[in-house]
Amino acid sequence: MQVAGIIVAGGRGTRFGGSPKQWRDLNGQSVAAHAAAALAQAGVSPIVFVHHPDDAVHAALIPGVTLTPGGATRAESVRAGLEALEAHAPDAVLIHDAARPCLSSDLVTRVLNGLSQSEAAAPAVAVTDALWRGASTVEGIEPRENLWRAQTPQGFRFAPILAAHRAHSGGALDDVEVARAAGLSVTIVPGDEDNLKVTHPGDLSRAARILENRMDVRTGNGYDVHAFGPGDHVMLCGVRVPHDQGVLAHSDGDVGLHALTDAILGALAQGDIGQHFPPSDPQWKGAASHLFLRHAKSLADKAGFRITHADLTLVCEAPKVGSHATAMRATIAEALDLSPDRVSVKATTSERLGFTGRREGIAALATATLIRP
């Protein structure tokens, strides 16, 4: 079953106060970015991200999604997302609020299991607290039996929910309301207390604690060596450094970027640079090594990881690296979408020992840190 996703992010979050809550920072990413990454991590694809027209700049920073402007109401925004998916003809669609950043893959699985046996399935948590009715004083008690707190993602067979939204007039609290108005049966599946909706400022702190407890932190190491040969420069961390020799290599021979690429691939358990870009393949002859690094980053993005830090050490007697380190950090930071203060480039010698000490070549060691919420 092909399952597509819609992230609804067009709200203004008036109860939160200030700028819309979906764009607030949460452990280094926006709330909305966490929500989108959670769907992607669960294998949902493609994902349409429906945003407010004023938020196009923010929405463009969400990786791996198709952007669609929303409407004046939630129902109109969802319909825009469904219309954008029609060409893909998915079997089913999961519709998720951008303000729910703590979605787990287990919850997605429960919704899909429920959907496999019905027209629609949605997660909910049973009401266990006493329910009072009143303003400033208690005016009555309401029964809590068979009452549920609704959550997202809500799952639907694609064609029926598209038809339901096309036929629906007026607003709706969620897509279950639209589905039921069209006569669709909705199965309730167990929700998750951690799948909170960020509504008030204090919810951000709670969401941060939840994500920190389930965070997947990976560290990868990389190492590369190239011998010196004829030439008048070497490429180091994307910067052309003048030298009385070049390097012998199939690509541009950038040991720094090669080592960092391997570090990221190592953290992902995705092999090494030679497996992705075989030296025997002529298309990589003389290739700029930033292509390899960006490929590794794209694999990290696809797996739901965020690269948070890169550390490189260049080992050589010459050329001197110090005056180029700032430019190297900036080049790497741009390729990985990091701020330069999250990139370290250092250089050392081997005290004239070994092949680097004899000025026969250059080596690089790299460490990359990746985080998946």
Tell me, what CATH number does 255's domain have?
Answer: 3.30.1330.50
Rounded to an integer, what distance in angstroms lies between the CA atom of residue 201 and that of residue 26? 11
Rounded to an integer, what distance in angstroms lies between the CA atom of residue 329 and that of residue 366? 13
Q: Is the pLDDT of residue 128 over 80?
A: yes
Q: Is the pLDDT of residue 235 over 80?
A: yes
Residue finishing a domain among 172, 187, 214: 214
Where is pLDDT greater, at 194 or 372? Answer: 194
Query: Domains in the chain: how many in total?
Result: 2
Provide the β-strand partners of residue 313.
346, 365
Exposure letters 106-121 (e unless 16+ CB within 10 A, then b): ebbebbbebbeeebbb
pLDDT at residue 15, as a whole number:
60
Q: Give percent above pLDDT 70 in the chain.
A: 98
Same domain, 325 and 303: yes
Rounded to an integer, what distance in angstroms lies between the CA atom of residue 296 and that of residue 292? 6
Same domain, 180 and 62: yes
Same domain, 228 and 97: no
Same domain, 207 and 248: no
Same domain, 185 and 275: no
Rounded to an integer, what distance in angstroms lies between the CA atom of residue 337 and that of residue 301? 11
Neighbours of 58 (CB within 10 A): 18
Rounded to an integer, what distance in angstroms lies between the CA atom of residue 34 and that of residue 26? 8
Q: What is the pTM of this model?
A: 0.67
> Given pLDDT bands bounded at 50, 70 and 90, which one contains residue 373?
low
**Domain range for residue 63?**
3-214
Q: Measuring CA to CA, how many Å separate 332 from each of 173, 174, 256, 341, 344? A: 45, 43, 10, 11, 9
Same domain, 281 and 187: no
Rounded to an integer, what distance in angstroms lies between the CA atom of residue 151 and that of residue 210? 17
Cis? peptide before 319, omega within 30° of 0: yes
CA 124 to chain centre: 25
User: pLDDT by residue (tens digit) across 246-273?
Assistant: 999 989 999 999 999 999 999 999 999 9
Same domain, 205 and 233: no
> Given pLDDT bands bounded at 50, 70 and 90, which one contains residue 14?
low
Same domain, 247 and 168: no
CATH code (residue 128): 3.90.550.10
Same domain, 279 and 166: no
Residue finishing a domain among 198, 214, 230: 214
Residue finishing a domain among 168, 185, 214: 214
Q: Is the pLDDT of residue 180 over 90?
A: yes
